[in-house]
Amino acid sequence: MIAINNDNDRSVPDSRMGRLRAREQQKQQKKASNKHKKTPKAGGTSGSQSPTAIKPHNKNKKSNSKKWLWIVGILVVVIVAIFFIVRRTNNASAKDNAEKIVQTSFNNDRDNITNQATSAQMIELEADAKKIQDNTAANQYSQLASLGKSAISFRERVSDLRSGNNYRTSTTGDKVSSLLQDLKDTTFKSDFSGFYNEYNKLLTNLQPKAAAVSKLHKETNKLFKNGKSGSLHSSVTSSKLNDLLDSLDKYPNFEQASKDLTRVETAVKTYRKDQDSASSSAASSAASQSASMASSQSASAALASSQASSQSASTAHSQSTSAASASSQAAASSSRASNSTASSSENSSSSKNSSSQSSASSKHESSSSSSKSSSSHSN
């Protein structure tokens, strides 16, 4: 077969069938090129059309798109690498930080918390557990964080029972029993055995003491007329008060017991003070009665003394009168004797002697009567 270059080339003789076949081939090539919109490749068969030239801007687009594909691919690889590196680094850092928290907040057996454990540390431990890739380690740390948060919350509730070294007024037997029941309702007994054993022992020992203090508080209130303060009931006996004081004195580290002890002691002092004042008033009334009796007796004694003195004075007056009459009689006799003789003078001298004796006797009698009156006054 002779190849035909184009339709107008008639320099080369050919048969009619050859030309028809060549034309048919050209039509098919045009249809194929129009259908796929492709330019014919260079080096086609003889007689086909010359290939269409590629424009320069199309070549630049293709080269630029290839470059961007490479850049995007490199960026994706870099991002993925950075992601894995950061994830690996975060995993190692989270694991190290979680282990530090565990060593600080838990004991060696990891069945109890330490005094340094806080809620903030448990939240941080829980966040670190989510970053750890190892599922076993992540689950272990997550469980410890959950147990730690619950244990710290319960520990704070128990700590609220105390104020320093003493138990608060709100620490009643019912409250301690409620805490003990809450402890038994948790999973601490199986999952956190050390913590459970510690607080179960503490609350079990505390419960009967708190219940006894609550009972004594009720008994103390019953002593008073208005329930809490004021005066004591008349039926309260000293033995009952002493027994209550001895019982309250056994719980010095309970604020409620200390307050009740102070209340009862103050009430007892007031009660004794009232009794003492009543006794003193009774003694005072008795003393006033005895004093009135003594004053009446002294008045009667004074009256008797005055009567005795008046009697002695009248007696002395009568005696002095008789003495004066005797002395007058003696003077008269002496005047009569002055006119007589020596014998009469002797008689007058003897009468003078007798008058002087009588006057002395009268003076003695008056002095004795005065001494009697004075003695009667003194009596």
pLDDT score at 207? 96
**214-217 contact pairs (CB < 8 A, 24+):** 214/172, 214/173, 214/174, 214/256, 215/173, 216/244, 216/247, 216/248, 216/251, 216/257, 216/260, 217/256, 217/257, 217/260
Candidate ranges 3-17, 79-93, 104-118, 262-276; pick with highest mean pLDDT = 104-118
Tell me how far apart the alpha carbons of residues 344 and 346 are, in angstroms, rounded to a whole number.
5
CA–CA separation, 42 and 33 (whole Å): 14
What span, in angstroms and rounded, lies between the C-alpha atoms of 94 and 117?
18
Structure tokens at 174: 């019912």
**Is the per-residue pLDDT at 369 higher than 60?**
no
Residue 224 bridge partners (DSSP): 232
**Helix-helix angle 255-337:238-248, to 10 degrees:** 140
pLDDT for 90: 60
CA distance 251 to 166: 10
Kindly report, residue by residue over 26-52, the tens digit of the pLDDT. Answer: 877 777 776 655 454 544 444 444 455
Angle between helices 238-248 and 193-223 (to 10 degrees): 160
- Nearest-angstrom CA–CA distance, 144 and 128: 12
pLDDT of the residue at 363:
41
**Percent share of the chain, pLDDT over 90:** 36
pLDDT surpassing 60 at residue 7? no
CA atoms of 94 and 87, how far apart (whole Å): 10
Question: Could you tell me which of 25, 28, 53, 26 has the C-alpha nearest to residue 39?
Answer: 53
Cα dihedral 128, 133, 138, 141 sign: negative
- CA 283, 289, 292, 293 torsion-angle sign: negative
Q: Whole-angstrom Cα distance, residue 139 to residue 48?
A: 76
State the Cα–Cα distance between residues 148 and 121, nearest whole angstrom: 9
Query: What does the pLDDT look like over 53-80, one tens digit per residue?
Result: 555 556 566 677 777 888 888 888 888 8
* Phi and psi at residue 143, to the nearest 5°: -65, -40
Query: With 0-12 CB in 10 A as exposed, 13-18 as middle and 19+ as buried, what is 158?
Result: middle
Return the closest-CA partner of residue 131 out of 82, 95, 85, 84: 95
pLDDT at 344: 39
| Mean pLDDT (the chain, rounded) | 74
pLDDT tens by residue, 106-162: 999 999 999 999 999 999 999 999 888 888 999 999 999 999 999 999 999 999 999
Q: H or E element: which one contains 163?
A: strand 162-163
DSSP assignment letter at 133: S
